[in-house]
Structure 1
Amino acid sequence: MSPEDFVRTHTAVARASIVPEIALHLASEITPIWQATEEWLKERNIEPPFWAFAWPGGQATARLLLDEPARVAGKRVLDFAAGCGIAAIAAAKSGAALVEAAEIDPLALAAVRLNATLNGVSVATPEGDIVGAPCRWDVILAGDVCYEAPMTAHILPWLRGMAATGADVLLADPGRAYLPREGLEPLSRHAVPTTLELEDRTLREVTLFRLLP
């Protein structure tokens, strides 16, 4: 079974609560798809299938771009740690000249490709860890990436370096523990409904920040 076939088999087409304009291949529960992923990969203790859900940070970023398309229109955009690709798709629908979605999970890349096709847009999916790459983008989107200390320590210096080169780095955070306490300029706030299956509450307040160098 190909990664694309796996995504099709274990998800259904649905729409995120605050971004009804975008259709996505999504799972309704985390445990069944997590178990199916372990069986398909023949591995245990893998990372959760983050790509199978529209997380609050991605939804808020997509909402901002659809409401304010001038932020990305005509620009080169990277959706970093893209998950299902909702922000990348929103950027493409908002007129970005080029959109790339970066993920280290091949299933996530397959989901992004399927979701882009579902919405009639083009999103490139480079493989591997893009952290450390030189900047080739005008705008970098990073939704809900500060949820673990090792992840934050790995990516934040690179993202700040991208901002220092002139990229507009937009960081969406729903109140995660490892969000940096300085070097952030708030842009907008969004209330995003969620479920107790994924979060510890039924509503997340997401703040969109511009990351300063």
Structure 2
Amino acid sequence: MPSFAAGILPDIIVRFRERFPRVALTIRDAIANRVMDPVLSEDVDLGVMGGESIHADLDVIHRAEDCLNVIFPARHPLARMKRIEIKELTAFPLILMDPATSVRATVDAALAEGGQRVEAACEVTYMMTAVGMVRAGLGITILPASAHEVRAEPDLAARGIDDPRFVRHISVVRKRRRTLPPAAENFAKALVEYIGSANTERA
């Protein structure tokens, strides 16, 4: 996933390279529903995908969770609220991710379960585009807490949503019954180790 590739993946690679400096890596970032196909076709060894829909021919090596935050200008009315619940989100124009992304699937499910019907003020494919739209004052957006795009924006704020449904599930997957090369096996272990420790620290 692009959020994972631009977020914590570089840190994982740095740690991996300390142990295996001669291993070369090829990264293919793609939105959620386009991660499974290259793993199934064996074009890639491992996939990191969001959502809970996993193909029957994939094995899940590790599962984790990524809470979603609402992103808004620092002087926005949301900044003055002690708690941000689902009804507050729908009171403002929403910049939403592409329907094919795991973030959008999570947001749509949470809104539907909360009895909210919302039309996106704008739909975008990349998180940096959503951040730019918010910076321009076109609305608010909902992105993973792990998204690094927000950290470079001092005029924007990120807050957790007081609703347990705004959590994205992340899976590290491989093709079932496929024997991976040793380098890929070692990288899979590094992925699981890092993601596991990151979830423990947030708990």
If the TM-score is normalised by the length of the shorter chain, which range does it land in?
Answer: 0.3 to 0.5
- What TM-score do the two structures reach when normalised by structure 2? 0.35
The structure that has the greater radius of gyration is 2
Higher relative contact order (CA 8 A, sep 6+): 2
